[in-house]
Structure 1
């Protein structure tokens, strides 16, 4: 079924928006909403599609007769021409990125090697990378850098990242449960000098086996997971003004501030200082 461009498909009761790289979307405006614990998302019908990515907290939305409960790290696609709004007042610790866009007019040639389908509700496999794409889009708008082609390709990247759900990384239920325990251990001890051998010893598993299961299930190594966990903590600390960059590094498990800066740039695409400035601007960015 066409829907003002692109195609809506129904697979096992799930609606997906299918697009082709040969006919990219048109980017409109975006922003970062940061809740103060008051108000509810307005009820409305708009002419554009909207992609929402919850970066912190929980968000309850409805579209027509369906209600969606979104957790941190989840996405929601809202369809053009459908009535949507908040299902309950905003939580105080909620923040989410949003962007409006339009698929190309007419039917897109989907089904080939250069097409993909994004489900209405998704848990992206790489939420950190999706956050970076949103921040780059907002930073470009804040600096007055606007490129029709660049904006279009960036939104296509966002939608593609949303199409890569965590479940696609592989692994059976037992493997996913073990990977979840590993991630929980990492998040609990990310400020400590931990390595795969430490985790294996604490959990009573062979180090090589633990690494294979985690990589097969999540698509990343345990070392990468440790880096990402520490960087998530670092980004939360950078959003405040109480610490300088060296202090942030030390409080997020990095003993070498220079290594922290290199790793941050490798994963985030910008320096810690640039991230801090970008976050400060994004609070008021409603383009």
Structure 2
């Protein structure tokens, strides 16, 4: 069947009170490098939280970068796949779900599209609620801690399946989907702004050693600095400066563990010309200086 003229995920206009999410599959799982699944379609929606790993995410022909701490969203009917970039594997929290309790699942084939001519009505809808975001438009994001904690509880309850687990799972999923739909500041944010912010976050992930000052980032987004800072904090929970620091320190820790580069060389690669400033920043964040972190990492 030709779906070329249909936009996925299919939208369903509704009110927040109409949401009744159900979970079809929830697990902690590992994807091995070179053993990733091929490009696929799913009937429902999927959330993948990257617990550890560095991956490329392919969604509808576009490529995104996701690392430890990222949340990946795959919408129903949207072609997607992942690729592990560094190390041998990536570890995930994974949940397949729908928004309106509209999909019955008895086997894997009820989630993943394997039939040559799938029926359009089997693809789950995505809510379109006035003044709220559309989750599928931001395939990779940094989630608030509350979403991660709720995902962990969904997986635990879904795995143990104790009496009444369905109600508990539904409650946690309702929290997750509302947070996905709602801008953290409580203010409506234009979709175009969310897309631009995500593009900016992806740029930081790949160019963290470049000039990532508020001035430079604002110029890339064509916004003034105060406006950038306000929108970035609302979307990701961190100021641009704090986010850049977190990316740089994450990469610095990786190099301290995995390379023989000197601490001064690592500081330079992270965009810090002043070694003392880098060491002070590292110590404030990690509780120990870079040299001690490297020594302990070699022991364990």
> If the length of structure 1 is used for normalisation, what is the TM-score?
0.47
> If the length of structure 2 is used for normalisation, what is the TM-score?
0.46
| Higher RCO (C-alpha under 8 Å, 6+ residues apart) | 1
